[in-house]
Amino acid sequence: MEEISYAEVDKALKKFRPFLVRDGGDYELVEVTPDGTVKIKLLGACETCPSSDMTLKMGIELTLAEKIIGFKEVVQVF
């Protein structure tokens, strides 16, 4: 299996960023592991939002799954 690159993930996530920023939040792409796990730190309003799990799984994870072959999952880091 081919490793996914940080740049590839970053490019795909930039299309999702405006939705977070609109609501006072943002993210930091922390790491892309060789097995396809993407580690993200939520920032701003997203840090304390009760819907942050939904944002990660139904927003960010679906966005990456549609665009990147070899993507496995999104994990939030604090």
Q: Which residues contact 4 (CB under 8 A, 6 or more apart)?
A: 32, 36, 68, 69, 70, 71
pLDDT in tens, 49-65: 999 999 898 889 999 99
> Is 1 domain-assigned?
no
Domain count, the chain: 1
Structural domain that includes position 43:
6-76
The CA distance from 78 to 72, in Å, is 20
Q: Which of 12, 42, 8, 10 is nearest to 27 (CA)?
A: 42
In a domain, 64, yes or no: yes
Per residue in 13-62, pLDDT (tens digit) is 998 899 999 999 999 999 999 999 999 999 999 998 999 999 898 889 99
CATH number at residue 31: 3.30.300.130
Report yes or no on 66 lying in a domain. Answer: yes
45 in a structural domain: yes
pLDDT of 1 strictly over 70 = no
Q: pLDDT: is 6 or 16 the higher one?
A: 6
Contacts by 52-58, CB closer than 8 A, 24 or more apart: 52/76, 55/20, 55/25
